[in-house]
Structures are given as structure tokens and as C-alpha cells.
Structure 1
């Protein structure tokens, strides 16, 4: 399991090195999933999105955090426990066929594409309903 960032899709000014490093993490995830898959080792990335951490609280004013929270489907930023639960789900046996994917935060509106649909489905039903091969 690797941890990426929504900064790869929505980079902020001054965040080029951070966004580039997280994009590299996502590529490493895809390559590692191909290299390790035949040994039945899955490799995925989670992009937590806005999460209530010291980094968020020191890097953004409260009104910006409130604005981001307002844009999410859940009406709040994530917590470290939210992210840990998603990671635990992806590391569990029910997600054994999910590999090589970078999961965006299911709470953020405006995402599109197959990975976003998978994340939304996982948020509703858990990984049991999805079997995705690389």
C-alpha cells in the first residue's frame, strides 16, 4: 500500500515537488503491481484528500478548510481513522483482486473516470462487490 495525494490531480501553487513525488508514487504503485502480481501480492495507492492533520491545519486557514469540507459529499474533511479504514479494507482478503489502482478520496465531488466510480462503489458496498484485474 502506498499513500499518494489529490495534489497529483489538483496541484497547488508552490506544490510542484510534492505533486511530482506523489505522481511518482502512483507510477511506482502501477509498476509494482505488475511486478508482484504473479506472486499474489497486490499494490494499490490511496489518495486521502483533505484530512484533519497538523499539515492541513498549519497549511490552510480555517475558512479554507471549511470551504473544502463544504465541497465534499460527506460535508467534512477526512480523519486519519477514515484513511486507516480504507487502507485496512484494501489490505484485507476482500480486496484481493484490486491491484495497480490509485484510489481518490470517495468523499470529494467532481472526480470522474473508472477509478472514481470504483471508489464510490467501494464507499457504498465495500470491496466485496468489485474484482478488478490489472
Structure 2
């Protein structure tokens, strides 16, 4: 009979020591790597609110072209689930929802996102959520 999946196997609490090239660099991702393979996997959602500075028509075209190119080169480990043009009740112009199973992949996405948009998006605010999926 196979060993049952235990809460302890899915959520290891023993201290971690040392590191190797096969382990993630943060404590959170190290804990996730040690989870029993029979456990549900985590999906991280990132809600990225952004504020766009006033743009000329030429800048709007440049920003749109840059954004479309950015999305074409997106990693397969990160998915833009939705793009929202207006966020009523806030001071932000819009929001994108991004999902990934890998925090490192999102980290890479984030740096590329800011490199691409920093010239016309002076401010962002990001919220992170997680859910388990079998």
C-alpha cells in the first residue's frame, strides 16, 4: 500500500541547511521544492496595478508596439491571464493579472516588464496570491 499524503509531507517545517545548484535560493521556494510530489501544486497570481503617464500619440504607438513585442517573447512559465484598461476606485490606470507556478519565472518576468514599461509607467503596485491545484 502506498504511503498516504500527509500534511507534514506537503508542508515541511524542518529547518533547511546548505544549498545546492538544484535548490531554489529562497526559503519559500526551498520549502516548495521539498513538498511531496503527490501534493497539490501551487499557482501564484500576481495582480499588477499600474499608472501610465500622459503620452503623446507617437508615444502611445511606441508603448503599444513595445507591449505587444514583450508579450510575444513571454516565457512559457508565466501567463498574462488578463489585461484591464480601467480600475475604478483607484488612482491606477490599469491592471494585469499574471499567473505562474514558479516564483523565479515571475521574478524574471518582473524585471523584463519593468525594463519594457518604465519609461511610460512610473508607478506599479503588485499583490501576490496563491492557490493549490491538484
TM-score tier, shorter chain, comes to under 0.3
Structure with the bigger RCO (C-alpha within 8 Å, sep 6+) is: 2
Rg (Cα) greater in structure: 2
Normalised TM-score (structure 2): 0.24
Q: Structure 1 or 2: larger strand share?
A: 2
Normalised TM-score (structure 1): 0.24
